[in-house]
Amino acid sequence: MTTNVQPLDFNPPYLYPDYRSTTVVSPSKRPVILPRDWFEFGEGPAYGRIPVRAGDNDLVNGNGGRPQGQRIVLTGRVLDSDGRPAPDVLIEIWQANASGRYIDSVDMQFQPVDPYFTGAGRTLTDSLGRFSFRTIRPGAYAGLPGGQFRPSHIHVSVFGWSLSTRLITQCYFEGDPLIAHDAIAQSVGDPRGLDRLIAKLDFDANEPGALDCALAYNWDIVLRGPRATPAEAAR
């Protein structure tokens, strides 16, 4: 005897009042129903006017100096719903520096700007769906009501070959106690879904070299299906 079991959806709701920006950007009207299969098979977005260079995934080197903070290497794979690797997927990241400050001019916090850290990078997955970024572990910063601090996190945009493979999410780090108190992370609503957003320490891949040592983290991204990586609430 078989039963139809619906896959669990760990995507957070569009409106989550504790995550205050969702009260502004969440839909206020009923969604428009599109033709069947349009989303899955419609022509996807195009990119390529600005080519992805080999060093665009290295946020530590190439900015005229050595940025402050704990160096980390974030690796993983982009997978489809059936576990197959997704090659040639564009991954873009942006993040705060080691003090918790974004280089963007709209960030009015008093933490110092690091002149050697832009906080943005991009790469394409290889034939096996693998990606890698060398960066700085971002600092926590106060950005929520009541003086709460956001945990270390990296914003991630995944651009696939069709509209159904676009994902905007956030990556957190194993062992960070602030995750349990963060309204954005907790908007996922289920620990199993939240676990899919947490990069795990990869002790075998740590780089202990004296000059450029780095902690290694591993985090896979699943574009859709029952193991899909949850999207950001304010998506």
Catalytic residue from among 155, 172, 196, 217: 155
Look up residue 115 and give its two tokens: 């002149």
Active site residue 181: no
Q: How many CA atoms lie within 13 A of 197 on its CB side?
A: 33
Task: Using DSSP bridges, classify how beta strands 198-201 and 167-173 pair: parallel, antiparallel or unpaired.
Answer: parallel
150 in active site: yes
**Cα separation of 10 and 131, whole Å?**
24
Residue of 19, 102, 172, 217 marked active site: 102
Q: Is 155 a catalytic residue?
A: yes
Residue 47 annotated among the catalytic residues of the structure = no
Catalytic status, residue 172 = no
Which of 101, 134, 153, 196 is an active site residue?
153
Which one is catalytic: 71, 101, 137, 150? 150
Assigned token pair, 130 = 């693998």
Q: Which residues are catalytic?
A: 102, 141, 150, 153, 155
